[in-house]
Amino acid sequence: MIARQGRSVAKHAAERLKEAFGRLVGSPLLPPPALRDVGPGDFEEIGREFLGHFVSLGSLQPAETILEIGCGPGRMALPLTRYLNHEGRYVGVDIVSRAVAWCRRNISPQYPNFTFEHADVLNQRYNPEGRVQAHDYTFPFDDAGFDFIFLTSVFTHMYPADIQHYLREIVRMLRPTGRLFSTFFILNEEQRILGEKGKNDIVFRFARGIYRIRNEAIPESAVAVKERALREMFDVAGLVIQEPIHFGGWSGREDGLSLQDIVLAVPAAGSAEEQR
C-alpha cells in the first residue's frame, strides 16, 4: 500500500513538472494523456473542429459569455482561449475532479477570464461516486447569465430524465438571445436502415423505451435517444430547435458533419421567464 501511494505521488509530481516545463519552453498547453479520456480522435483537431462549428452554426462572438457543460481537460476551452477577446468570458463545468483541477492549474492562470467548476454529479462512466443525481443538480449560476451554452459528448452519456432536467436548467441560464449547442446519438429511420446494413459505428443493442444503450454493464457509456422523443424534450423545456439537425457520421451517413449529431436551439419566446 505504501509503495503504491508513493508511486501515485511520484506520478503526480512528474505530471506537474512536465506541465511547468512545457510552459517554460512554450510547448502547446495540453493535458497529460491520462486525462484525455474524451473519446477517439485527435485531441487538438477536434477542439479546432468544434470551434469552427460554434462560430459557423452557433454564431459565437469573441465578446460573449460561454458556459461549457462537460469541459473535461479543456479540449474545447483551449482553442477558445485564442478566440475570445478580453470582454469574453468562459466557464467550464465537469464531473471529473482531476480534469477540473488541471484546467484550473494550467489554463486559468494564463487566461483569467476562463474559470472551471467541479460538479459532483453521479455518472457510472465518469464519476461513479458522485453525490448528486443529474436530475437533481442545480447549476450554481445566475439566471440569464450566458450567451452561449454548449455540451459536446455529454448528453450521449445521460438518460432522458436527466437530459430533460439539464435542458430546463439551460433555459434558465440562457439569455433571451442565447443559443444552445449540443450533441447526441439520435435514433431515427435513416439510422435504423443504415444499422441494418451494418453501417452504424456504434450498435445500441439494448432498448429502454425512448432510448437505447450500448453496454448493459455500464449503461451510461453510450446512450442514444429517439428523435421524436428528443424533439419533445426540447419543446417541453422551452427550446426551439434551429433546423436542420446536423446528423453525424456515427450512424454511417456519408454526409455527416461531425461524428455525433449536432442540435442547435434557442429559447422560445417567454420560456426563460417561465422557467424562473
Shared domain for 110 and 224, answered yes or no, is yes
Domain range spanning residue 17?
1-30
Q: What is the pLDDT of residue 270?
A: 58
Shared domain for 6 and 105, answered yes or no, is no
Shared domain for 14 and 90, answered yes or no, is no
Number of structural domains, the chain?
2
pTM for the predicted model, two decimal places: 0.88
Per DSSP bridges, beta strands 114-118 and 146-151 are: unpaired
* Separation of alpha carbons 128 and 238, rounded Å: 31
Shared domain for 11 and 105, answered yes or no, is no
Shared domain for 70 and 5, answered yes or no, is no
Shared domain for 7 and 99, answered yes or no, is no
Q: What is the pLDDT of residue 118?
A: 98
Shared domain for 6 and 63, answered yes or no, is no
Contacts of 143 (CB under 8 A, 6+ apart): 172, 173, 272, 275, 276
Task: Tell me if 36 is assigned to some domain.
Answer: no
Coil, helix or strand for 109?
Answer: coil
Task: Tell me if 37 is assigned to some domain.
Answer: no
Shared domain for 21 and 78, answered yes or no, is no
* Separation of alpha carbons 174 and 63, rounded Å: 16
Task: Tell me if 184 is assigned to some domain.
Answer: yes
Shared domain for 16 and 140, answered yes or no, is no
Could you tell me which of 205, 199, 202 has the C-alpha nearest to residue 217? Answer: 205
pLDDT tens digits for the chain (276 residues)?
444 444 444 445 444 544 444 443 334 689 998 888 766 789 999 999 999 999 999 999 999 999 999 999 999 999 999 999 999 999 999 999 999 999 999 999 999 999 999 999 999 889 999 999 999 999 999 999 999 999 999 999 999 999 999 999 999 999 999 999 999 999 999 999 999 999 999 999 999 999 999 999 999 999 999 999 999 999 999 999 999 999 999 999 999 999 999 999 999 985 544 544
Domain at 61, CATH number: 3.40.50.150
Shared domain for 48 and 184, answered yes or no, is yes
User: Rounded to the nearest 5 degrees, what angle is found at the Cα of 255, between the Cα atoms of 253 and 257?
Assistant: 105
- Measured over the CA atoms of residue 262, residue 233, residue 174 and residue 154, the dihedral's sign is negative
Coil, helix or strand for 104?
Answer: helix
Task: Tell me if 245 is assigned to some domain.
Answer: yes
